[in-house]
Amino acid sequence: MIRLLSAERYKLVRSKSLYISVAVMTGVVFLMYAMMGMMDRIRKKEAATETDGAVIFAWEESVSDSGAEQGSVSSIWEEIGIMEMVRQIFSGDLIACVLAVFVSISVVGEFVSGMMKNVVGKGCRRWKIFLARLIVTEAASALIILTGIASAVLAGWLFAGSGYLAGLSLKNLAAFTGLQLLPAMALTAVYMLAGGLCRNYAAGISLGIGIAAFPMLIVTGLDMMFAQSAFTPSEYWLVSRSAGCPYEGFTAGYVAETLTVSLVWFALAAGAGIWHFSRADIR
Amino acid sequence: MEYVLQTEGLSKRYGRVNVVDSVSMHVKRGSIYGFIGKNGAGKTTFMRMIAGQAAPSGGSMRLFESEDLERQRVRIGTLIENTGAFGGMTARENLEILRRSFGIPEKRRVEEMLTLTGLADTGRKKVRNFSMGMKQRLGIAISLLRNPDFLILDEPANGLDPAGIREIRELLLKLNREKQITILVSSHILEELSRIASHYGIIRDGRLIEEFDAGELETRCRRCLRLVVDRPDEAAVILEQTLQIRNYDVPGPDTLRVFERLEDPSQINMALMEKGIRLKESYLSGQDLEGYFMELVGKKD
């Protein structure tokens, strides 16, 4: 097992997909901040000469409608704190999509290149091969998530200044990070299962992105169906749980629920993945 | 230990199709076993089952006279279908991944394999930029990384130029002679195969239709006068008593093969006809492995 982990780690360090995923994650975070910065400038009319007049007009109208006095508009950074920004970044399916692409490329690449058949049947039990891959892929996914959170803090400091970080509670940030990592780890196992089933780049990535996007819409619809009852399906799906994660006021019940949901999904996906990989023909 | 591989009724079924149908193969230790068949005959699937990449649907196999396949497969090196290397990495990096996966402590093993297969100076060149020949050589380096006792090679000369084919041939012969590595090799270049193989198996539509050694092939493909007659027993007597021919055999119910006096077959034909033997066919034949294979497969078609 140790030797398999060593090989997987070597592979990960040498492959470009991890670095590209980390770069995309960082790039998107910075892009979001840049857009917020642009909105801030538009709001303060600092960008009037560089921006489409219609946008300025619309903004002025909306400000006028809300009764705010023109010329005394507050900074967007004052309204949206650093933790809110971090939550915004994780509230969509962006992270889920980045993980989907990374894991699919990583898993499918093993089969497409033929590397997998050089390892299978060479004295290592298949479940051990799968487990080693799972452990290293989980570590890489965690690195991508942590990079996203670190980038969000760094970009906040760069775009809004050091004062922006004053409202940052490290305790809350750590708790939020942990609560984001749990479903992300389970989601990684789900993507590994999907990639193992597809063994084709296009199909694997499409299925991964599909898993990231569509179930969230379905569970939102189900939430409406069960609106009259106490049952909320979206709380049991990883992506919606990640999106709805609070950034303060964490309760023990919420943490335990997130842990349970993540563990159940992880066990199901990893179990199915090992079962399938142990029986599948390797081409 | 006499056999490296023995299969009994090994089968693989995909849906309703029997891709490999009850194959009983016997690969002797120290031999080079040429595995011949048309595209889609089931060669690769059979090899994948031996290598543990595909689960058989039926039958059994023994490796190194043992049924503990998991343990014995450690002694097998394979090159099946493609190289099995990451295109975005160098040959050295690919071998390093496998060295770690296999738990080979000696780091120099990677360099040894690169040197052995002539890839030592590929440096930072990515595998995706390798020529077909270089990829095949890397595949062989991978298959040899663990110092195997048994090599399974599926079309190792595929896509190689004549010089590359010769290199592979010499490498395989060297491994077989110097390291006593048993080799199961499939190839469509039958002339090339006939230069190295000591044993042969011919597969058609998933069934192993013939298994023979090089000596037997030589006999079967020997230059001869093939006679198809109505009374072979009497014809044999005429050959022996009238023509003093001893070197002949009777491979079929109405067929004789004469291996001497081939410089003037008309003498034999006339002697038989004079004694009232009805000569249905009389022709000189003699084939190489390719001709024999085509005749065998064509006959079944």
- Across the interface, which of B51, B82, B87 has its CB nearest the CB of A121? B51
What CATH number did the domain enclosing B36 receive?
A: 3.40.50.300
pLDDT band at A140 (very low <50, low <70, confident <90, very high): very high
Residues of B in contact with A16 (CB under 8 A): 88
- B145 and B208 in a common domain: yes
Please give the residue range of the domain that contains residue B140.
3-213
- B156 and B71 in a common domain: yes
Whether the Cβ atoms of residue B296 and residue B202 lie closer than 8 Å to each other = yes
Classify burial at A52, counting beta carbons within 10 Å of its beta carbon; exposed 0-12, middle 13-18, buried 19 or more: exposed
* pLDDT above 80 for A50: no
Task: Please indicate, yes or no, if residue B298 is contained in any of the structural domains.
Answer: no
Distance of CA A33 to the CA centre of its chain: 17
Task: Please indicate, yes or no, if residue B181 is contained in any of the structural domains.
Answer: yes
B86 touches chain A (CB under 8 A): yes
Residue of B nearest to A16 (CA): B88
A279 touches chain B (CB under 8 A): yes
Distances (CA, A) of B31 to B50, B60, B183: 17, 21, 6
Place of tokens 């120290």: B30
**Distance of alpha carbon A68 from alpha carbon B262, whole angstroms:** 114
- Across the interface, which of B54, B55, B81 has its CB nearest the CB of A114? B81
Strands (E), chain B: 3-14, 17-23, 26-28, 32-37, 58-63, 76-79, 150-154, 182-186, 199-204, 207-213, 224-229, 248-252, 255-258, 279-285
- Number of C-beta neighbours around residue A50 at 10 A: 9
Candidate from A101-115, A171-185, A212-226, B1-15 with smallest mean pLDDT: A212-226
Task: Please indicate, yes or no, if residue A258 is contained in any of the structural domains.
Answer: yes
pLDDT band at A47 (very low <50, low <70, confident <90, very high): low
What CATH number did the domain enclosing B271 receive?
A: 3.30.70
- B247 and B134 in a common domain: no
Average pLDDT over residues A144-168: 83
What interhelical angle do A82-91 and A126-160 show, nearest 10?
A: 140
A168 touches chain B (CB under 8 A): no
Task: Please indicate, yes or no, if residue B299 is contained in any of the structural domains.
Answer: no
Residues of A in contact with B80 (CB under 8 A): 117
- Inter-chain touch B84–A282, beta carbons under 8 Å: no
ipTM: 0.73
Examine the fold and report which residue of B162, B183, B213 is the final residue of a domain before the chain moves on.
B213
Task: Please indicate, yes or no, if residue A7 is contained in any of the structural domains.
Answer: no
The per-residue pLDDT for A57 is 44
- B256 and B184 in a common domain: no
Q: Could you tell me the mean pLDDT of each successive run of 10 residues in chain B, 301 residues long?
A: 87 88 90 87 90 88 87 88 86 91 87 86 88 86 90 85 83 87 86 83 86 76 84 89 86 85 84 89 78 66 46
Summarize pLDDT for A161-186 with one digit per residue, the tens: 777 777 777 888 888 889 888 998 99
Task: Please indicate, yes or no, if residue A6 is contained in any of the structural domains.
Answer: no
The per-residue pLDDT for B194 is 80
Task: Please indicate, yes or no, if residue A196 is contained in any of the structural domains.
Answer: yes
Examine the fold and report which residue of B213, B236, B251 is the final residue of a domain before the chain moves on.
B213
Q: How many domains does chain A have?
A: 1
- Across the interface, which of A4, A116, A123 has its CB nearest the CB of B74? A123
Average pLDDT over residues A60-73: 51
- Across the interface, which of A16, A113, A125 has its CB nearest the CB of B85? A113
- B121 and B259 in a common domain: no
**Distance of alpha carbon B134 from alpha carbon B119, whole angstroms:** 7
Q: Which of residues 84-123 of A touch B (CB under 8 A)?
A: 109, 113-123
Average pLDDT over residues A60-83: 62
The per-residue pLDDT for A48 is 54
Task: Please indicate, yes or no, if residue A3 is contained in any of the structural domains.
Answer: no
- B265 and B184 in a common domain: no
Residue of A nearest to B55 (CA): A281
The Cα diameter of chain A in Å comes to: 75
Residue of A nearest to B85 (CA): A115
- B43 and B177 in a common domain: yes
The per-residue pLDDT for A72 is 60
Task: Please indicate, yes or no, if residue A4 is contained in any of the structural domains.
Answer: no
Residues of B in contact with A120 (CB under 8 A): 52-53
Average pLDDT over residues A119-147: 89
pLDDT band at A73 (very low <50, low <70, confident <90, very high): low
The per-residue pLDDT for A272 is 93
- Inter-chain touch A11–B78, beta carbons under 8 Å: no
- Number of C-beta neighbours around residue A274 at 10 A: 20
Handedness of CA B164, B166, B170, B176 (dihedral sign): positive
Main-chain dihedrals φ then ψ at residue B18, nearest 5 degrees = -85, 100
The per-residue pLDDT for B301 is 46
∠ CA A78-A80-A86, nearest 5°, is 135
DSSP state of B127: G
Task: Please indicate, yes or no, if residue A101 is contained in any of the structural domains.
Answer: yes
Task: Please indicate, yes or no, if residue B11 is contained in any of the structural domains.
Answer: yes
- B247 and B200 in a common domain: no
The per-residue pLDDT for A143 is 92
DSSP notation for B51-90: HTSS--SEEEEEETTBS-HHHHGGGEEEE-SS----TTSB
- Inter-chain touch A282–B100, beta carbons under 8 Å: no
User: A74 or A249: whose pLDDT is higher?
Assistant: A249
- Number of C-beta neighbours around residue B177 at 10 A: 11
- B242 and B202 in a common domain: no
Average pLDDT over residues A244-269: 89
- B201 and B85 in a common domain: yes
Candidate from A61-70, A194-203, B25-34, B94-103 with smallest mean pLDDT: A61-70
Test the B interface: residue of A13, A107, A118 with most B CBs within 10 Å: A118
- Inter-chain touch B100–A3, beta carbons under 8 Å: yes
- B246 and B183 in a common domain: no
Please give the residue range of the domain that contains residue A38.
12-279
- B194 and B47 in a common domain: yes
Task: Please indicate, yes or no, if residue A27 is contained in any of the structural domains.
Answer: yes
The first and second tokens of residue A254, run together, are 């919420």
* pLDDT above 80 for A218: yes
Q: How many domains does chain B have?
A: 2
User: A66 or A145: whose pLDDT is higher?
Assistant: A145
B64 backbone φψ class: left, alpha, beta (φ>0; ψ -120 to 50): left
- Inter-chain touch A7–B83, beta carbons under 8 Å: no
Residues of B in contact with A7 (CB under 8 A): 97-98, 100-101
The per-residue pLDDT for A262 is 92
Instruction: State percent of chain A over pLDDT 90.
Output: 19
- Across the interface, which of B54, B89, B102 has its CB nearest the CB of A122? B102
Residues of A in contact with B103 (CB under 8 A): 3
